[in-house]
Structure 1
Amino acid sequence: MTEPLLRSADEGAIRTLTVNRPDKLNALNAATLDALQAAFDDAAQDAAVRVVVLTGAGTKAFVAGADIAEMAELTAVAGRDFSARGQRLMRSIETFPKPVIAMINGFALGGGLELAMACHLRIAADSARLGQPEVNLGLIPGFGGTQRLLRLAGRAATLELCLTGAPIDAARALALGVVNRVVPAAELAEATRALAAGLAEAAPLALRGVLDCVHAGGECALGEGLAYETAQFGLMFATEDMREGTRAFLERRKPRFAGR
């Protein structure tokens, strides 16, 4: 029986998606990109899912990049289409209405780092290595690496990583703001589960409001972003979750958010 390119498992309101090509270090080929797109589309529509965790199979790699064997045969037009396909996926993850956590358990290189950067939060094992090595293949990042790395780490670090192609360790990635946390490899799964569990108990509409505001604010002027935040803030007062959250605070109890 052929193993699926992507494994999906639910634990309560947490859905874990695992890129499942360990023999290829979980490299992203066209079929895997399509499987990921379908999985995120499904999770977006599933009301039972409140948080998505994304990781790679095995202990060596989160995703070690795009599939070089597949890319080597592409024409210029096909290469552009492959980039567009990857960018559509990354954009859908970046704008996903529920928190997405990248659990970086090993190499996150090229398309793998681009995939991780599209997620909302990133937890890395201390043994992880991250980078944009495309220049070593005569290429540039094609799934949004130059743009998202620029926004996370700044111009100097982006130019260093993309021009030299040299990977960095998890500690430097943390210092640059590319990842949110670094934990010992043996503790990665539990640390990610704890973060996901906390988010799964939070108010879903408030989480979406935060995601929408931060995403919008990153693409507009400050005044426009502030106006958008004010509008979203006002909308929260129309939700049952806001009433439950404020009542629970005043009653000194844990809130029970229903996502309404």
Structure 2
Amino acid sequence: MNVAPSSGEARFDLDGPVATVTLCRPQVLNAQTPALWADLRAFGRSLPGDVRVVIVRGEGRAFSAGLDTSAATTMLGGIAASEDADARIAGFQEAFSWLRQPSLISVAAVHGHAIGAGFQLALACDFRVLAADGLFSMAEIKLGLVPDLGGTKRLVELVGYARALELCVTGRRVAADEASAIGLANIVVPRDELDSAARDLAAAVLEGSRDAVIEIKALLSQAAAHTFGQQEAAERAAQLRRIRSLAGLEE
């Protein structure tokens, strides 16, 4: 099933428990606009309940070169003069944040450039499958801006504070081999194997019990904020829910 967004800047495909989001502005390296973000937000809100995995990919030579510079001046000027600027940015963030919802596992299939908003879109996903030609860069500093699409927290979680700060304040590019070494990429594969590797990862997720996957994601996502005692209590509660469910004793 294909879902056509109003902007024409992405394509949404539903195939049973797997949804695929394809950025389709290859002529501008899938540069992103507020119209695209509105479509991503709407798709996230309307996602069928039986979807378990979302794959995000880009057409052409790159995953996404970030914010479309032709739209940036108008967008930033509008935000600066807006009385509801905070709400507008929150709406942009929602285009990315739905990929983190507890009931989904999201996979970014990244090739070529993933810059700025493109990098943050990849970071919004649970897994990043990276082609050997992939390049990450948090380039907002080049425009005198900060990353504001949810990428800072995930970046610190993945690579630690000092390295995250260095990447954000320099905007330097991280090639596939370094991305793998520092934890930004789950898998690095040849470019022609990228889509199949993302599908294989999705299939591996689908082999597990949906409820168990949801419980595991919740446990891991809260682990850093917990003491050992708190995390052990959370593990006990999750395990009891699973045992009772498997025994047919759900409340």
Same fold (TM over 0.5): yes
Residue 80 of structure 1 and its aligned partner are, at CA, apart by: 4.5
| Bigger shift: residues 124-133 or 143-152 | 143-152
The one-letter code of the counterpart of 1:147 is K
Name 2:42's counterpart in structure 1.
38
Aligned to 2:244, what secondary structure does the other structure show? coil
Counterpart of 2:182 (choices 143, 157, 176) is: 176
Residue 82 of structure 1 and its aligned partner are, at CA, apart by: 4.6
State how far apart, in whole Å, the 2-side matches of 1:126 and 1:88 are. Answer: 30
Name 2:93's counterpart in structure 1.
87
Residue 161 of structure 1 and its aligned partner are, at CA, apart by: 1.1
Structure 1 unaligned residues grouped into runs of 5+: 245-260
Superposed counterparts of 1:147-186, under 5 Å: 147-186=153-192
State how far apart, in whole Å, the 2-side matches of 1:90 and 1:229 are. Answer: 28
Residue 12 of structure 1 and its aligned partner are, at CA, apart by: 4.2
**Would you say 1:14 and 2:18 are equivalent positions?**
yes
| Bigger shift: residues 142-151 or 161-170 | 142-151
Name 2:62's counterpart in structure 1.
61
Residue 177 of structure 1 and its aligned partner are, at CA, apart by: 0.6
Counterpart of 1:112 (choices 103, 115, 118) is: 118
Q: Contact conserved, 1:95 with 1:215, CA < 8 A, in 2?
A: no
The one-letter code of the counterpart of 2:107 is I
State how far apart, in whole Å, the 2-side matches of 1:233 and 1:41 are. Answer: 30
Name 1:129's counterpart in structure 2.
135
State how far apart, in whole Å, the 1-side matches of 2:46 and 2:14 are. Answer: 13
Residue 138 of structure 1 and its aligned partner are, at CA, apart by: 1.3
Residue 10 of structure 1 and its aligned partner are, at CA, apart by: 3.2
Superposed counterparts of 1:147-226, under 5 Å: 147-226=153-232
Shift of the 243–112 alpha-carbon distance from structure 1 to 2, 3 Å rule, reads farther
User: What is the TM-score normalised by the length of structure 1?
Assistant: 0.83
Aligned to 2:63, what secondary structure does the other structure show? strand
Residue 108 of structure 1 and its aligned partner are, at CA, apart by: 0.9
**Would you say 1:5 and 2:6 are equivalent positions?**
no
Shift of the 212–31 alpha-carbon distance from structure 1 to 2, 3 Å rule, reads same
Shift of the 222–111 alpha-carbon distance from structure 1 to 2, 3 Å rule, reads farther
The one-letter code of the counterpart of 2:137 is G
Aligned to 1:27, what secondary structure does the other structure show? coil
Q: Contact conserved, 2:40 with 2:96, CA < 8 A, in 1?
A: no
| Bigger shift: residues 34-43 or 157-166 | 34-43
| Bigger shift: residues 123-132 or 219-228 | 219-228
State how far apart, in whole Å, the 2-side matches of 1:21 and 1:165 are. Answer: 24
Name 2:152's counterpart in structure 1.
146
State how far apart, in whole Å, the 1-side matches of 2:135 and 2:195 are. Answer: 17
Residue 203 of structure 1 and its aligned partner are, at CA, apart by: 0.8
State how far apart, in whole Å, the 2-side matches of 1:37 and 1:9 are. Answer: 15
Q: Contact conserved, 1:14 with 1:197, CA < 8 A, in 2?
A: no
Counterpart of 2:233 (choices 227, 233, 245) is: 227
Count of equivalent residues: 239
The one-letter code of the counterpart of 1:71 is A
Q: Contact conserved, 1:95 with 1:212, CA < 8 A, in 2?
A: no
Shift of the 165–96 alpha-carbon distance from structure 1 to 2, 3 Å rule, reads same
State how far apart, in whole Å, the 1-side matches of 2:195 and 2:182 are. Answer: 23
Q: Contact conserved, 1:90 with 1:144, CA < 8 A, in 2?
A: yes
Name 1:257's counterpart in structure 2.
none
Name 1:70's counterpart in structure 2.
71
Residue 86 of structure 1 and its aligned partner are, at CA, apart by: 2.8
Q: Contact conserved, 1:5 with 1:20, CA < 8 A, in 2?
A: yes
User: What is the TM-score normalised by the length of structure 2?
Assistant: 0.86
Q: Contact conserved, 2:102 with 2:218, CA < 8 A, in 1?
A: no
